[in-house]
Amino acid sequence: DWNMPDYIAEAVEKIRAQVGSEEVILGLSGGVDSSVAAALIHRAIGDQLTCVFVDNGLLRLNEGAQVMETFANHLHMKVIHVDASGEFMKHLAGVTDPEQKRKIIGREFVEVFQRESAKLKQAKWLAQGTIYPDVIESAGSKTKKAHTIKSHHNVGGLPESMHLKLLEPLRELFKDEVRELGIALGLPADMIYRHPFPGPGLGVRILGEVKHEYAELLRRADAIFIEELRNTRDASGKTWYELTSQAFTVFLPVKSVGVMGDGRTYEWVVSLRAVQTQDFMTAHWAHLPYELLGKVSNRIINEVRGINRVVYDISGKPPATIEWE
Ligand code: XMP
């Protein structure tokens, strides 16, 4: 059993002793781990920390603005917001293979991050939100080449060629401890208890070729789905957002016929996906209430011009995976 104020005080002392008066950079994704690492390091060394937030054009609706609001405006941290969406889209043009897309997105991130951090010439440290389960996982994969179904990319794993010392203040913590720490450091509960979001973002939720136009439609449809999940409660009083482990919308590059007023439409399809799981290795599709599904479908079709059909994914994992790519 740990005492949070003592833990924070100790962690802060440890970071100060390690870093001294040197400068630190951190790749902020908006996810729980990098956010908590940033808040903790900032508590310890203030403006010696600079965060780099890379917008790859594959984030959720208003995500960039929210990250800047929380970290720059509210917590007064130094955050560099890099809009690299054009660059990511350019490299993804014409690419349809899911693994290829993951590789490109991972590689582009490293390139953009390295370019931005090269501008911060004083930086001697690279901070990462590595947590204990990541440490175990990468130790395992070095010895017994893990059988990979999908290569997972996230913000970690920047190359050693950056010649920076690594600062990983969350290395000994489990996910629930990281969340508790984040709340104690003043991060918003919405951010700390957000469903997981994959590193390649909407890049693996737009099937096949990724286009800016598709990402725009998907962002709006997904925001409606998430808003309704947050606003609808079951008999126990919990929201459906809390009752599901992960929920999102997938863009299918397929057109189907519909009617609108007295006109015929020929537009895109999206699928809703919502799962319940303990460990994300196996998962059940969530039995969302029909009324909720119906409302989400109506709202998406009425509010997002360009989408005229909504379907619900009722596949378990296995044999399906949680993401569609
Ligand atoms: P799957 O689709 O394999 O997903 O059932 C299991 C969990 O992993 C997440 N996921 C990823 N996370 N980079 C990530 O950081 C990735 O490339 C990636 N692919 C899948 C997925 O969202 C789910 O939580």
From ligand 1's centre to the CA of 250, what distance in Å? Answer: 14
Q: Is the pTM of this model over 0.90?
A: yes
- The reply to whether 205-312 shares the fold of 4-192 is no
Q: Which residues are annotated as a binding site for ATP?
A: 29-35
Structure ipTM = 0.99
Ligand 1 pocket test: which of 60, 152, 246 has the largest number of ligand atoms within 8 Å of its C-beta?
Answer: 152
Ligand 1 pocket, 150 CB below 6 A? Answer: yes
> Quick one: which of 229, 225, 212, 221 has its CA closest to 269?
221
Ligand 1 pocket, 246 CB below 6 A? Answer: yes
- Per-10-residue mean pLDDT of the chain, 325 residues long, equals 90 98 97 97 98 98 97 97 98 98 97 95 96 87 53 62 91 97 97 97 98 98 98 98 98 97 96 98 98 98 98 98 98
Looking at residue 162, what is its pLDDT?
A: 78
Q: Which amino acid is at 97?
A: D
3-state SS assignment for residue 24: strand
Ligand 1 pocket, 199 CB below 6 A? Answer: yes
**Domain boundaries, given as residue ranges, for the chain:** 4-192, 205-312
> Quick one: which of 134, 86, 139 has its CA closest to 108?
86
Ligand 1 pocket, 200 CB below 6 A? Answer: yes
Ligand 1 pocket, 102 CB below 6 A? Answer: yes
Looking at residue 155, what is its pLDDT?
A: 52
> Quick one: which of 29, 59, 104 has its CA closest to 218?
59
CATH for the 4-192 domain, from 3.40.50.620, 3.30.70.20, 3.20.20.140, 3.40.710.10: 3.40.50.620
- The class of domain 205-312 in CATH terms is alpha beta
For residues 289 and 296, give the distance between their C-alpha atoms in angstroms, rounded to a whole number.
11
